[in-house]
Amino acid sequence: MSAGPVVRIAMWSGPRNISTAIMRSFGARADCAVTDEPFYAAYLVATGLIHPMREEVIASQPTDWRKVADALVGPPPDGKPVWCQKHMTHHMLPDFGREWCDGLVNAFLIRAPEAVLASYSLKRDNFGLEEIGLPKQAELFDRAADRLGRAPPVVESQDVLADPRGVLSALCAACGIPFDSAMLSWAPGRRATDGVWAPVWYEAVERSTKFAAPRREIAFDELPDILKPIAAAARPFYDRLAAHKLAAGAS
């Protein structure tokens, strides 16, 4: 175990964000352990959803959410003093307890829902609002805000891409850890800490060595008609969180 207090960061994101690049960034710190979507198997078993590599995912992780939660508040991997846990918000089903995350630093990574939908629809068919995570993200944000008495840290993916040093400096400060310039680059390739689903989802990040340049995000009118009702329903959740996003800070 770590000799001192451990800073456990629950980084809450929806799918098709830059969450894996954020995991790479934190993993580049010598003082930080990372964990990749630990509730994924429990989510698949509970919902019965058919995702790519479903059986491999289920075999790779505990399927009881209680065991997952206990591990996340237990000793950190390799005794590291910082532990960044990458979570998909939609994995937190109503029957999965939330109390375990009350002792963590809860941070929120957001991306415009239109862009999320355009990307996610390339990998998944027949999904709804819940599967892109924004309702659960707002719920988790409200829980953290109620406990803190203020807004927890929120970062926007486009802001990270535009100014990695500045926005990550602000995020680290909000999480109670110093910024480390090692977070700005990493070696290409797969990691032992990546989920077994990496071959399906992580092709781009495996080629990367730093955050990509900002991209032009798709507009509402450019979405296929079938996705527009989901985008319209998601937008109020996104806007509420975006109102609290961190401005770039000095490193």
- The label of the residue with tokens 């003082």 reads 31
Q: E strands within the chain?
A: 7-13, 32-36, 82-88, 105-110, 154-156
Based on the number of CB atoms within 10 Å of its own CB, is 200 exposed (0-12), middle (13-18) or buried (19 or more)? middle
Tens digits of residue pLDDT in 160-213: 999 999 999 999 999 999 999 999 999 999 999 999 999 998 999 999 999 999
Copy the structure tokens of residue 163. 């100014």
State the pairing for strand pair 82-88/105-110.
unpaired
- Are the C-beta atoms of residues 85 and 10 closer than 8 Å to each other? yes
- Give the separation between CA 218 and CA 119, rounded to whole angstroms: 10
Tens digits of residue pLDDT in 223-235: 999 999 999 999 9
Domains and CATH numbers, the chain: 7-242 (3.40.50.300)
- Give the separation between CA 36 and CA 55, rounded to whole angstroms: 17
> Following CA atoms 190, 101, 50, 197 in sequence, which dihedral angle do they give, to the nearest 10 degrees?
0
- Give the separation between CA 3 and CA 137, rounded to whole angstroms: 32
Residue 250: pLDDT band (50, 70, 90) is low
- Are the C-beta atoms of residues 249 and 163 closer than 8 Å to each other? no
pLDDT for the residue numbered 251: 46
Mean per-residue pLDDT, 125-152: 92
pLDDT for the residue numbered 185: 98
- Give the separation between CA 3 and CA 79, rounded to whole angstroms: 8
- Are the C-beta atoms of residues 29 and 185 closer than 8 Å to each other? no
- Give the separation between CA 1 and CA 33, rounded to whole angstroms: 12
